[in-house]
Amino acid sequence: MRRRRTGMIAVVSALGMTAVLGGCGLTGGSDEVTLRLVAADYGDSAANSSEKYWNSLVEAYEKDHPDVNVEVSIYSWTDVDRKVKELVDAGKAPDLAQIGAYADYAKAGKLYTASELLSITTQADFLPQLAAAGAVNGAQYGMPFASSTRLLFYNKSLFADAGIEAPQTWQGLVTAAEALKADGVKFPYALPLGPEEAQAETMQWLLSGRGGYTDPNTGSYVLDSDENVETFDWLKSELVGEDLVGPVEPKSLDRADAFEAFTDGDVGMLNGHPTLMKAAAAKGVKFGMVPMPGVEGPSRISMGVADWMMAFKQNGHAEEAGDFLDFVYDDENVLSLSREYDLLPVTTPVWDTMSVAKEDADLKPFLDALPTSELYPVGRTSWAAVNAAIKQKIGRAVAYGGDPATVLRELQATAATEENAE
């Protein structure tokens, strides 16, 4: 049975305004405990800010919890990780943080493990590969909060005009791109290897080429593996070299710009996540989604990503934080978050529900890809530096005069140095 305790919650916006949702203030009786949570904003406007989600959660929790105050401070994704770091460095760590990475804090001994916080039921509900990605040296510190996968989006109208179908193989992708180019499409395949999010596009291609960032058996970095070099050799010669990626060099094309071009109807194909669906539909773009093409057929492994919840030890509120998190991960609340922001669920019961629900049919291709997805090696403190290096350098691998093997060897050298320092 999941634990329940009494409490009251206040929500603190990024602007510093506090809305107290209860009959008493933040400084009640001596037995009261205040939990402070810093959270990221999943909304794209004031109307659907994550404050809406947390307010709803607050109201439900407050009914039965008069002895625990929870202050939720919401920041944009641009600011939230930096804000948490500033608080930790200043000796004022929040009790809970919902941000993009946890490994550095875990390595420094600042976090509770999931087993020190959550009920057995809550911990067992996490999708296995997400729980595994939240572990450092076998202990789970990062609790997945939201997830996503990537699929190949294609413009149905442009494909119909060119008389082609969605590709299933690399060769099929080239054939489609050639037809789109001949039909005057600006970006037959958009290849965003610019510094914004090059690590995502890179990983999707590596997985489709039977490679990846790490060895699945040892966990060590293998960026310059034969499979990875072959993948980027192919990208450079067959896509970039044949002028099938559009007028912007991949090293200068960011993901946001590629998405915007897709919603403008200028892109035939690109890798995308669920939020692209709403943006494209809002502009009237008719699109389809298929698994990433592979060498001989659709890739069996998609790239997955997750955002993380973590609990800091500093204030000693393990029991209260754990009880609140049990509530946060209640099926109803996970489902509400996923549907409100077009996110994928992080728990098996909610994945089961959404996989068959008619109202979640648009997300089904992403839901189907989630159980077999592979995530970044976020449990390694070295990943932050490796990630930064990929963003900075990988675009050179497919540039004119570039050499994929050389660039991947440089990245592997960086990874090995960081790995040895862990």
pLDDT in tens, 332-345: 999 999 999 999 99
Q: What is the pTM of this model?
A: 0.87
Per CATH, 8-147+306-375 and 151-301+382-420 having the same topology is answered yes
Q: In the chain, where are the structural domains located?
A: 8-147+306-375, 151-301+382-420
Q: What is the dihedral of CA 168, 169, 170, 174, to 10 degrees?
A: -60
pLDDT in tens, 44-58: 778 888 998 988 897
Which residue positions in the chain have pLDDT lower than 70? 1-30
CA distance 98 to 310: 6
What's the confidence (pLDDT) of residue 12?
39
Query: What is d(CA 214, CA 218) in angstroms, rounded to the nearest whole number?
Result: 8
CATH code for the part of the protein at 8-147+306-375: 3.40.190.10
End-to-end CA distance of the chain: 38
Question: Is the CATH code 3.10.20.30 the one for domain 151-301+382-420?
Answer: no
Structure tokens at 307: 């955002």
Measure the CA angle with vertex 326, ends 323 and 330; round to 5°: 145
b/e 317-334 (16+ beta carbons within 10 angstroms → b): beebbbbbbbbbbbeebb
Rg of the Cα atoms in the chain: 22
Contacts of residue 87, defined as CB under 8 A and 6 or more positions apart, other chains included, come to: 38, 93, 94
**418 residue type, one letter:** E
